[in-house]
Structure 1
């Protein structure tokens, strides 16, 4: 599939980029997308929730009432989970929520997400660009020229570009990502993707294997 390359002024150029059908034109696999997004969100969880169990509570270990004949539930010391202010049974403990996902499944998920963007006509290819200095005004001008200032945008560049990243940092609806760091969640979360020419080649290099 051929896509016309735009410049940073939003104008069509004479150049065209041929998108690899094995990356941008596959039949989307929704289950692979679900698994990859689930893993991404699980990895973001802190997993630091913690409550005290019976052995960790401070308090007397004296048995408060007799074992039988009281008319209520049997209980031991003041730390018993059946009492108000007592310990919690099977409470949360610090843990890692991340889980393993096969590399081929992750790649299929990313190809599926990119294919959805192409089908929705939500992928724009622009010439390679950079800014002389970090300037939010320059980044806003780029979005305005591409007529996507009111949309949630993901700008993908070939490699880490500090000036472009810092220029977008104050904009809540805009994100900048390097092609190597592209993930399924980031692609789907954006309403429109802006990809530089060299970033297209980098994405195809990683996902066409």
Structure 2
């Protein structure tokens, strides 16, 4: 698949790059995508929720009324969950929501996500960015040139560039990450995936294993 390379002003450079069909043009596996996104979202959960149960709240342990003869249900403790102020029955407890997926499935999910974006023409390839300083206006000018000001965008770098990363950090709709940090969720969550030229080799080598 041939894709034109743009400069930081959004103009074509006259060059084209070849995106590997084994990464950007496979038969998407929707179930693999579902599992990888599910794992990503599960890993974001802190799992610190907790409700007090009857053994953990303050209250008398006295039997509140006699067992028989009242015409109502028997009751042994004011801390029972059926009474106001009682403990929560079967309440949430701290737990770990994460689960494991094998590497091949995660690789397939990422390739499927990139294929989906490529089929929607939502992948843009640009020259490498290199700012002299970390200023938000530098990154904003790039977004404006690519017509991405009001869209969710994901910029993928080939190597760590602090000036580019820090310039984008204040912009809510844009995210910058390394090719090794690419995830199915982030690919699908973006309206446009912007690949820097230097990131292509790493993406293809990571996902072609």
TM-score where L is the length of structure 1:
0.96
Gaps of 5+ in 2: none
Partner of 2:135: 135
Q: In 2, distance between residues paired with 1:84 and 1:43?
A: 35
- Are 1:50 and 1:92, in contact at CA under 8 Å, matched by a contact in 2? yes
Partner of 1:37: 37
Deviates more, 1:182-191 or 1:56-65: 56-65
Q: What count of residue pairs does the alignment treat as equivalent?
A: 209
- 1:18-69 deviations in whole A, cap 9, x for unaligned? 1111111111111111111111111111111101111111221111111222
Partner of 1:182: 182
Deviation at 1:148, TM superposition (A): 2.1
Deviation at 1:159, TM superposition (A): 2.3
Aligned CA-pair RMSD: 1.1
Deviation at 1:4, TM superposition (A): 1.3
Confirm or deny that 1:206 pairs with 2:181: no
Deviates more, 1:143-152 or 1:42-51: 143-152
Q: In 1, distance between residues paired with 2:77 and 2:160?
A: 59
Q: In 2, distance between residues paired with 1:48 and 1:140?
A: 38
SS at match of 1:56: coil
Partner of 2:91: 91
Q: In 2, distance between residues paired with 1:6 and 1:161?
A: 19
Confirm or deny that 1:158 pairs with 2:158: yes
TM-score where L is the length of structure 2:
0.96
Distance 1:159 1:69, change over 3 A: farther
Gaps of 5+ in 1: none
